[in-house]
Amino acid sequence: MENSSTGDFKTGTTTVGLIAGESVVLAADMRASFGHIAYDEESRKLYRITGKIAVTNAGSVGDSLTLVRFLRSQAGLYEIERDTEITPKALTTYLSNVLNANRYYPFSAQFVLGGVNNGPELFELTPYGGVLERKKFAVSGSGTEPAMTTLDQNYRVGMTEDEGVAVAIKAVNAGKKRDMYSGGVSIAVMVINKRGIRELADPEVQKHLSKLA
């Protein structure tokens, strides 16, 4: 749903981010709703910002896409002006300032931002610009409760990248099962490490889902 006509669409959403070894794993469901209607089952909720930073979004699609454009343009300007890549923490601070400056007419969007600098970094941002740095995992959206319960039960420090992917998919799948606003044809997954960003192909995701059946 990559167009300006999606402003009234909402992603009720289950999105998660977690740190696995030297990587950040981001995952999200794929349902967008229009009121009480499940309007789109292939909605995108993971966005690359730079070669080593990405975000998940929950809330208004139009607001989210506007802020994603802000982030991409700011990251590009930062690189041109300073001849270096922007860090996840610096980009989080920028987004926090934008959200807080608009707190009286807020963007209806919540983000999980993950990336790699010297090591993996993970942040949650509220619609009013609040920032929580997460050392293990982050969750957003209407499927937060079942996803967080799954992460509490399955996450452990020192997991491998593959183990982290499996746990992230399991957490989002729990949201899809129990939250009426989360769903979609599959689960989108991105892995971020020092080599860059890799988006999992659907057959790889389905392989993990088959183990949960």
Which residues are part of the catalytic machinery? 13
Burial 40-67, CB ≥16 within 10 A → b, else e: beebbbbbbbbebbbbbbbbbbbbbbbb
3-class DSSP assignment, residue 161: helix
> How far apart (Å, rounded) are the C-alpha atoms in residues 39 and 183?
11
CA–CA separation, 81 and 84 (whole Å): 8
Q: How far apart are the first and last CA of the chain?
A: 29
Question: Would you tell me how many other CB atoms lie within 10 Å of the CB of residue 81?
Answer: 8
Question: How far is 112 from 192, CA to CA, in rounded Å?
Answer: 13
SS3 label, residue 109: strand
Tokens describing residue 84: 């270096």
Contacts 24+ apart (CB under 8 A), 4-7: 4/62, 4/65, 6/32, 6/61, 6/62, 6/65, 7/60, 7/61, 7/62, 7/63
